Amino acid sequence: MGQAADPERRDVIRSVAFILVYVIVIGAGALLLLPKFWYIWIVLVILGMLILVNWHREQTAYCCPKCEHIYEISFLTDLTAPHGINRDGAWLLLRCPNCRQRRKTKVLKRVERELS
């Protein structure tokens, strides 16, 4: 795994923008496709969610609050784990692969190493 750092303001704005676009597309799709083409709308909702979760998984890493181990998670874990935001930032409830404790882990952004 590469390095990880605290998310900056622009990272938060980018995440909110992607979620907002998703909500707008789903809302517009509901107005245009429901109730006659409901099956197309469901495919749109699921496909959009899968793309959004995959993008999030590729952009983030997680830090255990107990042992400070930094790690990445799978697509399925990112899709199903409880998410939240508090005054310290975003979190996911995950089990650390290092200390095996289930805790609210801090969300970090992945930072790619520059080639020298």
Residue 19 counted as domain residue: yes
The pair of structure tokens assigned to 17 is 């923008």
Instruction: Read off the pLDDT of residues 62-102 as tens digits, 9 standing for 90 and up.
Output: 999 999 999 999 999 999 999 999 988 899 999 999 999 99
Contact 41, 25 (CB under 8 A): no
Report the domain count for the chain: 1
Helix (H), strand (E) counts: the chain: 3, 6
Domain that holds residue 62: 3-111
- Is there a domain that residue 72 lies in? yes
Measured distance between the N- and C-terminal CA atoms of the chain, rounded to whole angstroms = 17
Per-residue model confidence as pLDDT tens digits over 2-56: 689 999 999 999 999 999 999 999 999 999 999 899 999 999 999 999 999 999 9
CA distances from 63 to 15, 32, 50, 68, 96 (A): 19, 42, 24, 6, 8
* Assigned domain for 116 exists: no
Partners of residue 104 on adjacent β-strands:
93
pTM here?
0.84
